Amino acid sequence: MNEIFDAIKESAIKIKYLIETGDTGKSEQENSTGDTQLKLDIQSDIIIEEIFAKVKSIKAIVSEEQENIVNLHADGEYLIAYDPLDGSSLVDVNLSVGSIFGIYKNEFNAQNIIASVYVVFGPRVEMVITTDDVKMYRLLNGEFKFIQDIKLNEKGKLNAPGSTQNCWAPFHKQLIDDIFNDGYRLRYSGGMVPDLHQILLKGGGLFSYPGTSDRPKGKLRQLFEVFPFALTYEKAGGGAVDGFKRVLEVPTTHIHDTTPCFFGSKEEINRVLKVYSENG
């Protein structure tokens, strides 16, 4: 798998340059969820696909920006689902964005995810690799250097509540209000990579993207966004649930399926499970 991690590092250096110099305008195309793709989405997707195409251990890839699975090497062992530039609409206002990768075996579903990687493009470029543990690296002088292991506290201090608030169920609104009333601080940029990275590094808290009246199954995609971070949060000692169960038990029927999701330290995740089991 080290070859795959090296390929992701190579892509990160190219995408950093693309973010710094590229055109932040819209393209003429839509992705499979109907979002208009930015030129940056398409270009970062091409960068990653070209680099992965050279890695013999990769059997197939699927990108948030493409409709279908792309077969690469028939003898390859790994399947990779990736979001090349999550939060790309934040580049024009110079907020942080990221790339997310889920590494699967056999089939694209939660049961088969074996590793994940995300890259945060902020004032610094950092990469977090999850296998049996969670390790953070930083780009320094053209190379990724190991910085630290990541572990969540049992209870955190941050609250990152996503989605359209006037579409929340009343019990969800109550849950979020109660969390704020208990002293948690609001931290939500609209980029899940930096938002989840912040919670991981600042000891914990809750990030939520619930099902809402306008999007009953949430917005975030299972294979490219939710499962990779679920693995990271679980291995860091926290949890990731859809309100009722671990997201790593959510079935996938289509590669672009979404799911409601909550990521956090143990105490916040237990709080979500209690409220949802009583009301959902």
Q: Which residues are annotated as part of the binding site for Mg(2+)?
A: 64, 83, 85-86, 225
Quickly tell me which residue has 């819209």 as its tokens. 26
* 260 part of the interface to ligand AHM, by CB under 6 A: no
Q: Which residues contact 190 (CB under 8 A, 6 or more apart)?
A: 87, 90, 95
Closest approach, Cβ 239 to ligand AHM, in A, equals 18
Amino acid at 214: D
Phi and psi at 273, nearest 5°, equal: -60, -40
- Residue 126 binds: one of Mg ion, ligand AHM, none (C-beta under 5 to 8 A by kind): none
By beta-carbon proximity to ligand AHM, the closer residue of 1 and 167 is 167
- Residue 31 binds: one of Mg ion, ligand AHM, none (C-beta under 5 to 8 A by kind): none
Rounded-to-integer distance, Cα 130 and Cα 61, Å? 19
Contacts with Mg ion in 61-90 (CB under 5 A)? 83, 86
Closest approach, Cβ 122 to ligand AHM, in A, equals 13
Q: Which of 19, 72, 87, 227 binds ligand AHM (CB under 6 A)?
A: 87
* 35 part of the interface to ligand AHM, by CB under 6 A: yes
- Residue 35 binds: one of Mg ion, ligand AHM, none (C-beta under 5 to 8 A by kind): ligand AHM
Rounded-to-integer distance, Cα 119 and Cα 138, Å? 9
* C-alpha distances in Å from residue 157, one per residue of 3, 10, 124: 37, 35, 24
**Environment class of 140 (CB within 10 Å of its CB; exposed 0-12, middle 13-18, buried 19+):** exposed
242, 192, 232, 225: which is closest to 62 by C-alpha? 225
Q: Which of 63, 96, 163, 222 binds ligand AHM (CB under 6 A)?
A: 163
* 45 part of the interface to Mg ion, by CB under 5 A: no
Binding site for ligand AHM (CB under 6 A): 35, 83, 86-88, 162-163, 190-192, 219
